[in-house]
């Protein structure tokens, strides 16, 4: 059943629901500020690790405070014991939805990549690594202050590693655990070993390849094929995927996708 209020926010409508919970549009009852509220299902709210990741998103985004990262207003528990997160209401679409309609010209892809890199730089300065960067977690919103007219907003820091927080690192990250989305995971993530900010930069390289070519750098019949390719295979050039870009762009993407030397 849809709740009437969450804290100081009045629920106005359902935006979407899934196996983990639901997202509602809401409005602050005193100042009228719009918001989006994510609420975990009761059985999910009883799973400590899932709630830890859920609240980790709020803690990470709040610590960074950057215009390219979704703002978190509040988080906590409903009277019924469901974990919730209140965040800014975004009007626009994900990078995945935009990319599904058409490829991006390389200058547009680089402009988006530069915005993503700026937001990541702010996170990395706070010793926060996103670790699940992908087109579905990049939102595009209108902003007349940005030359392109659109600003990116990074979403879902739920599996972010707060390097300065040993409690978060111990409970959310375990050596040998594979966390992330295979298509955009760095070789270190694929191997389940310790990662740092370079994992996010590798993901940016994967995203740029997909924006320009319509496909990620590595594909396979199953997740295992993709994980293996990230670890062992050299990344394809954009030229080999049928897209001609300046040599400098090829070098940039190749550097982002550089694998660690054994």
Positions marked catalytic: 132
Helix (H/G/I), strand (E/B), else coil: 127: coil
Alpha carbon separation from 171 to 17, 48, 67, 153, 167 (Å, rounded)? 27, 9, 29, 27, 6
Run of H or E including 22: strand 21-28
Neighbours of 240 (CB within 10 A): 9
The residue among 179, 226, 236 whose CA lies nearest residue 50 is 179
Q: Across the strands, what pairs with 242?
A: none
Run of H or E including 64: helix 48-64
Burial 51-72 (b: 16+ CB within 10 A, else e): bbbbbbbbbbbebbebebbbbb
């Amino acid at each position: 059943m849809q709740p009437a209020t969450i804290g100081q926010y009045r629920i106005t409508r359902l935006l979407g629901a899934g196996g983990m919970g639901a997202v509602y549009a809401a409005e602050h009852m005193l100042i009228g500020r719009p918001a989006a509220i994510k609420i975990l299902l009761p059985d999910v709210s009883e799973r400590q690790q899932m709630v830890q990741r859920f609240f980790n998103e709020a803690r990470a985004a709040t610590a960074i405070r950057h215009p390219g990262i979704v703002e978190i207003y509040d988080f906590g528990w409903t009277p019924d014991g469901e974990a919730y997160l209140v965040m800014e209401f975004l009007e626009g679409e994900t990078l995945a939805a935009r990319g599904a309609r058409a490829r991006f010209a390389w200058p547009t892809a680089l402009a988006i990549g530069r915005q993503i890199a700026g937001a990541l730089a702010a996170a990395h300065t706070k010793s926060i690594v996103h670790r699940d960067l992908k087109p579905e977690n990049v939102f595009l919103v209108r902003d007349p202050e940005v030359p392109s007219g659109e600003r990116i907003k990074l979403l879902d820091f739920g599996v972010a590693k707060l390097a300065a927080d040993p409690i978060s690192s111990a409970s959310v990250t375990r050596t040998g655990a594979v966390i992330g989305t295979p298509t955009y995971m760095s070789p270190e993530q694929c191997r389940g070993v310790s990662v740092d900010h370079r994992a996010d930069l590798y993901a940016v390289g994967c995203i740029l390849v997909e924006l320009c070519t319509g496909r990620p750098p590595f594909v396979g019949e199953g997740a295992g094929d993709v994980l293996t390719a990230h670890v062992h295979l050299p990344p394809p050039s954009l030229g080999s995927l049928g897209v001609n870009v300046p040599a400098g762009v090829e070098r940039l993407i190749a550097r982002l996708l550089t694998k660690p030397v054994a």
